[in-house]
Amino acid sequence: MFIGIFSIAHSIAYGAPSFKPVPTIILSQSEVWQRQQVILTLEITTPDEFARLETEELELSDFEVIALPFERSAVPNTSPEQYKVKVGWILFPLVAGQSEIELPQIIYRPNGGRKIKLKLPPKMLNVKSLPSYIPATMPIGSVAINNSVPAGNLGKIHDTQTLIDWNIELITKNVLPQTIPPILRQVKTSKALDVYPETLDNKITKNYQGLQNSWHYKIPVKVLQSGKLALPQLSIQYFDPIGAKLKRVKSEPLNHWAVDRYLQWFFLVVIALLSLFALYSFYQKTRSYLSERKKVRLAIQEINHAKNTQEIRKALHRLSQVKGWGDNLTLQQVTKNWETKTSGSPKLKECLQSLQVEQFSGNPSKSLENIKKELLNSLKRA
């Protein structure tokens, strides 16, 4: 960015004011392509909070000119406080070559004081010719395309034979408005799609960072066949002046579907049946689990209150049935299942062997309580 600072050429002869404004002329670039945006700004730093800048219309024969609004802002970290006032223009050079930009007369109008007329020298701008393969209607700058459709009754699934609003947003930055491509030429009625007249909402933003245009098209469409939403992909080619390259932007394909209503009802019924089956399976598993836990608790109670080995054996047979290990198992088989299918302690095998000895002794001993204790501990971990 090249910045030129110029002194005042003259002021009106009403008496010299105490503050003499010194304008700063800023040209965003000194060398640009044809139809590339360049911003011309004139700034003055002043202690007057309410000072204004007024300017005549800027007329340039080889440029498209867009005037920017007057702007005032406080300069940070200044004491006493200073303010920056500025006016400016967005320029699009149309002809290649060396261009001399003659600025119009600028008037600095202080609050309550006499106005000062500023006569400023011209600014020079070098305009490069675009490559011969760039047509006169191609955008120079940057272009983006967004498109979307609202959700249907089933989210991304829509009814066929009903109208859907297709929203297309075309956004250009630093692009001469007259070169915006007619994107709707790419949207046509087909065997799979009916297209209806669109509505347009255009928003233009211009400031000292540049020009941005936004076109929002709302196009009613009717999908005629079931399947993926058959919306055409939109494409625009433009010239990027920063990298001096041709680029192409495309709209993102929409992952939406259109389905006949009777198929939607069929799918809903199938989903409902599958959901009921899943709920029933969950209910059965929950019921089986709760029943098993109840039987295990009964086995624990029986072992806890057992007075002899026969009652312990009976509880172990009940537990084997609950676990699905089989009926009438020997203690050796119970031991093997317990070791391989539960998290029994290392002492469990020894405990069950002691139980087998106890059942043939005829007289319960003190070890019976230890056997019951170990069995109960193992059952709690099972």
Whether the pLDDT of residue 313 is over 80: the answer is no
User: Is residue 341's pLDDT more than 80?
Assistant: no
Mean pLDDT of 245-258: 90
CATH code, 108: 2.60.40
Share of the chain above pLDDT 70, in %: 79
Instruction: Report the pLDDT averaged over residues 210-217.
Output: 95
- Per-residue model confidence (pLDDT) at position 95: 95
Q: Is residue 275 in some structural domain?
A: no
Q: Which of 8-17, 288-297, 304-313, 335-344 has the weakest average pLDDT?
A: 8-17
Tell me what pLDDT residue 13 has. Answer: 33
pLDDT in tens, 186-200: 998 888 889 999 999
For position 11, what pLDDT does the model report?
37
Residues 205 and 317 placed together within one structural domain of the fold: no
Please tell me whether residues 74 and 152 are part of one structural domain.
no
Q: What is the DSSP string of 301-325?
A: HHHHH--SHHHHHHHHHHHHHHHTS
CA-to-CA distance for 216 and 126, rounded, in angstroms?
35
Report the relative pairing of strands 63-75 and 82-93 from DSSP bridges. antiparallel
Q: Which pLDDT value is given to residue 298? A: 77
The residues, ordered by sequence, that sit 6+ positions from 31 with a Cβ below 8 Å of its Cβ are 125, 126, 127, 128
Last residue of a domain, one of 82, 106, 128: 128
Structural domain boundaries, residue 42: 2-128
Average pLDDT over residues 56-84: 93
Q: In this structure, are 362 and 313 located in the same domain?
A: yes
In a domain, 358, yes or no: yes
Tens of pLDDT, residues 3-61:
333 333 333 333 345 788 999 999 999 999 999 999 999 999 999 999 999 998 999 99
Both 124 and 146 in one domain: the answer is no
> Among 225, 202, 205, which residue's Cα sits nearest to residue 215?
202
Q: DSSP code of 287?
A: H
At 87 the three-state DSSP class reads: strand
Please indicate, yes or no, whether residues 243 and 213 belong to a single structural domain of this protein: yes
Among 196, 227, 259, give the residue marking a domain's end: 259
Both 368 and 317 in one domain: the answer is yes
Is the domain of 152 the same as that of 119?
Answer: no
Helices (H) and strands (E) in the chain, counts: 5, 21
Confirm if 107 and 214 have CB atoms less than 8 A apart.
no
Would residue 25 count as lying in a domain?
yes
Evaluate whether residue 181 is within a structural domain: yes
Q: Which of these three, 95, 128, 161, is where a domain ends?
A: 128
Who wins on pLDDT, 128 or 257?
A: 128
Both 117 and 147 in a single domain?
Answer: no
Residue 117 and residue 6 in one domain = yes
- Is 273 inside any structural domain? no
pLDDT score recorded for residue 157: 83
**Three-state DSSP state, 27:** strand
294 vs 301: CA distance, rounded Å: 11
Q: Is residue 171 part of a domain?
A: yes
Q: Of all residues in the chain, what percent carry a pLDDT higher than 90?
A: 46
Question: Looking at residue 234, what is its pLDDT?
Answer: 94
Q: Is residue 264 part of a domain?
A: no
Count of domains observed in the chain:
3
Cα torsion for 322, 323, 328, 334, to the nearest 10°?
-140
User: Do 206 and 163 share a structural domain?
Assistant: yes
How do 38-46 and 24-27 pair as beta strands? antiparallel
360: pLDDT strictly greater than 50: yes
Residues 124 and 147 in one domain: no
Whether 267 maps to a domain, the answer reads: no
Confidence check: pLDDT of 365 > 60: no
**For residues 210 and 335, which has the higher predicted lDDT (pLDDT)?**
210
Q: Which of 69-73, 106-110, 151-155, 210-214 has the lowest mean pLDDT?
A: 151-155
* Length of the chain as a residue count: 382
CB 90 within 8 A of CB 39: yes
Give the pLDDT of residue 264: 60
Task: Judge whether residue 331 has pLDDT over 80.
Answer: no
Taking the alpha carbons of 271, 277, 278, 280 in that order, is the dihedral positive or negative?
positive
SS3 61: coil
Same domain, 113 and 173: no
| pLDDT above 90 (res 239) | yes
